[in-house]
Chain A
């Protein structure tokens, strides 16, 4: 089975540029999560969707960050304009968990390593 697919795996860009990270969840999973991981802050939940609808975006650091899920098989995380402090590994995860069923794990992609110069 194909797992969660993220692209690109690595991105290096200059400060001020727009960055778009992409995620394809596992087919049939109705939850999708975006995380950021850094040495200083560890693993942070940025936003999550249920059935393509954003449920909680309280972890999005600022207005420069936005996320969309136009359909069940695709999501994007966009940073505009990017800053050096946005450098991190960004993970997408999906889960088949539905309301009332908490015993399903999350399935993570291999992440996008983002460097903002």
Chain B
């Protein structure tokens, strides 16, 4: 079956530090890959996506590249801000209708 494995948290960084959150997946077929972000008291919201190998998704300074050869979709940001503190979820879709989510990684950015 499909699965998503995320880097375990929590992750604590100082403002302006470089962020990487690792995500690897197992899937049949050719999935689409997503990163969602969840701020306190809110639902998950799409951060970025990539739908085929070598695609790069980007949004709000975050980037992730779909690497088919390593089955990975690592999230990166060059300089984090306090406002980036949230829980980040990696996910994949196949044609089966539902998504498979990772366990989430909590990021705290300190001033």
Task: Mark A residues whose CB is within 8 Å of B.
Answer: 4, 31, 33, 42-43, 45, 48, 50, 55-56, 91, 93, 97, 99-111
Task: Mark B residues whose CB is within 8 Å of A.
Answer: 31-32, 34, 36, 41-46, 49, 51, 89, 93-95, 97-99, 101, 103-104
Task: Tell me which residues across on chain B come within 8 A of A111, comparing CB atoms.
Answer: 42-43
Chain A CB within 10 Å — which of B44, B49, B93 has the most? B44
The 3 closest A-B pairs by CB, nearest first: A108-B43, A102-B93, A103-B51
Contact yes or no, B43 A50, CB < 8 A: no
Contact yes or no, A103 B97, CB < 8 A: no
Query: Among B44, B98, B99, which residue has its beta carbon within 8 angstroms of that of A56?
Result: B98
Q: Shortest Cβ distance from A54 into chain B, in angstroms?
A: 12
The docked-state distance in angstroms from the alpha carbon of A42 to that of B41 is 15
